[in-house]
């Protein structure tokens, strides 16, 4: 996907003058990075570090407001329930939805599974089709495969082009009278491709096809308005945007949520239970069986406050500078190929070093204090399409600076000398 022209080793670069985005101040808010000051953490697409505000919000909830959610009449139960539902309201505002349209899940994966089994599976029959793209994360492939296998339906994959983009016209061709669902990423976790989601959703809706958007890699980097996107479902995880693991959000169009049966049964999602029959609560509680992740919800809300306080325009400008510096620097190293040149990139850059396995490059980088991801990034179909077994991925967050980019490039240059010669 890139030119194979010979390149020279990169010259050292200085961090430069202070910029509007004060990365030093931001990085100081992350205790793990403050403690490991020499670490260039470039693996945020896998999981982002947590700022002090998130850690303190979770600790404060445990110390001051912890109690059973919607299961008690005492004061602590009421306060804990109010905090939990307050977090739901915060998540709803974050994506431009109403609280009744936000289901708390364990993360993006569970959200996709919920839609696949509760919404789509009852509507699927033999011969039906589910449209996906070649660059989807396994979490936005495997649940649909399972639903298809159970019903006799099949997946139709929209091919990417030579840049790593998803052409709108190719998506339109994939839609047919047999299409019952489309599931697309907002941002590719492997290539950083930003998909034209609003256009793709509009095409699907013209044909009466519901759309789920996997927003896991979008929400840390850009504002999301589900109404503007027009999607029917939007799934995302807290731990990608500086929040805790074990919790995420699913936006669902209210009319769809009301028509969906429960996916899991248990406490907290019922109206009345008899031996013979159970009646279920309204959405979103209908889909939240069991004891909820209340502490994590507190951290989730705090993470959203933290990110939005930095400002989306400032975040976008800062991260664009980092990504441009990574691509430019990698292009200057002989034998390195950046994988994918999407028209719009967000969050991540993947690359290969000729003559070296990605895992070996990742190991050398680790010895140089640079944390990256090496492997197929849970996108084996994409890597197969590219003819690659594995790539190295550098992904950025608000705490990264140009000094981290310099360490990455120096580490890649060292890997080339050590592994290739």
Distance CA 67, CA 417 (A): 57
Q: Which residue has the tokens 């430019």?
A: 328
Q: Kindly report the backbone phi and psi dihedral angles of residue 157, in degrees, each rounded to the nearest multiple of 5, phi listed first.
A: -100, 125
Asked if residues 166 and 199 have their Cβ atoms less than 8 Å apart, the reply is: no
Q: Give burial (CB, 10 Å; 0-12/13-18/19+) of 283.
A: buried
Residue 155 β-bridge partners: 130
Q: From the CB of residue 315, how many other CB atoms can be counted at a distance below 10 Å?
A: 20
How remote is the C-alpha of 222 from its chain's centroid?
A: 12
CA nearest 305: which of 91, 34, 60, 28? 91
The rounded Cα 328 to chain-centroid distance in angstroms is: 25
Contact 121, 256 (CB under 8 A): no
CA-CA-CA-CA dihedral for 156, 375, 194, 141, to nearest 10: 30
Contacts of 284 (CB under 8 A, 6+ apart): 88, 99, 100, 101, 102, 103, 104, 252, 257
DSSP structure string for 92-155: HHHHT--GGGEEEESSHHHHHHHIIIIIIGGG--TT-EEEEETT--GGGTHHHHHHHHHHT-EE
Q: Cα(324)–Cα(227) distance, rounded to whole angstroms?
A: 31
Catalytic residues: 378
End-to-end C-alpha distance for the chain, whole angstroms: 24
Q: Which of 227, 230, 229, 246 is nearest to 238 (CA)?
A: 246
Question: Phi-psi region for residue 353, left (φ > 0), alpha (ψ -120 to 50) or beta?
Answer: beta
Cα–Cα distance for residue pair 342/338, rounded to 1 Å: 11
Alpha carbon distance 367, 81 (integer Å): 46
């Amino acid at each position: 996907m890139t030119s194979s022209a010979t390149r020279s080793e990169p010259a050292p670069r200085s961090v430069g003058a202070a910029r509007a985005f004060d990365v030093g101040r931001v990085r100081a808010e992350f205790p793990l990075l403050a403690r490991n000051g020499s670490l260039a953490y470039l693996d945020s697409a896998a999981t982002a570090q947590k700022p002090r505000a998130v850690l303190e919000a979770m600790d404060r909830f445990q110390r001051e407001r912890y109690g059973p959610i919607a299961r008690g009449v005492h004061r602590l139960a009421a306060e804990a329930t109010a905090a939990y539902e307050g977090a739901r309201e915060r998540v709803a505002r974050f994506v431009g939805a109403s609280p009744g349209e936000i289901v708390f899940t364990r993360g993006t994966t569970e959200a996709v599974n919920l839609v696949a089994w509760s919404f789509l599976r009852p509507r699927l029959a033999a011969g039906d089709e589910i449209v996906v793209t070649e660059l989807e994360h396994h979490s936005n492939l495997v649940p649909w495969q399972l639903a298809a296998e159970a019903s006799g339906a099949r997946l139709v994959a929209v091919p990417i082009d030579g840049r790593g983009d998803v052409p709108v016209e190719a998506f339109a061709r994939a839609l047919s009278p047999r299409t019952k669902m489309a599931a697309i990423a907002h941002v590719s976790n492997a290539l950083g491709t930003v998909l034209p989601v609003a256009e793709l959703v509009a095409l699907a809706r013209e044909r009466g096809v519901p759309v789920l958007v996997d927003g896991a890699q979008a929400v840390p980097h850009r504002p999301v308005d589900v109404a503007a996107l027009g999607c029917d479902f939007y799934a995302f995880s807290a731990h990608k945007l500086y929040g805790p693991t074990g919790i995420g959000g699913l936006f669902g169009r209210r009319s769809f949520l009301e028509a969906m049966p429960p996916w899991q049964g248990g406490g907290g999602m019922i109206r009345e239970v008899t031996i013979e029959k159970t009646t279920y609560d309204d959405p979103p509680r209908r889909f939240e069986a069991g004891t909820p992740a209340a502490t994590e919800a507190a951290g989730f809300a705090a993470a959203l406050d933290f990110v939005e306080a930095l400002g989306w325009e400032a975040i976008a400008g800062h991260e664009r500078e980092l990504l441009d510096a990574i691509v430019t620097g990698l292009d200057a190293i002989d034998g390195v190929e950046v994988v994918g040149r999407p028209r719009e990139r967000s969050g991540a850059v993947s690359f290969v070093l000729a003559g070296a396995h990605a895992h070996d490059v990742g190991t050398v980088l680790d010895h140089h204090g640079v944390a990256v991801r090496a492997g197929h990034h849970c996108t084996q179909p994409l890597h197969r399409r590219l003819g690659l077994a594995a790539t190295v991925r550098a992904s950025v967050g608000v705490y990264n600076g140009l000094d981290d980019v310099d360490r990455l490039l120096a580490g890649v240059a060292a890997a080339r000398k050590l592994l290739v010669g």
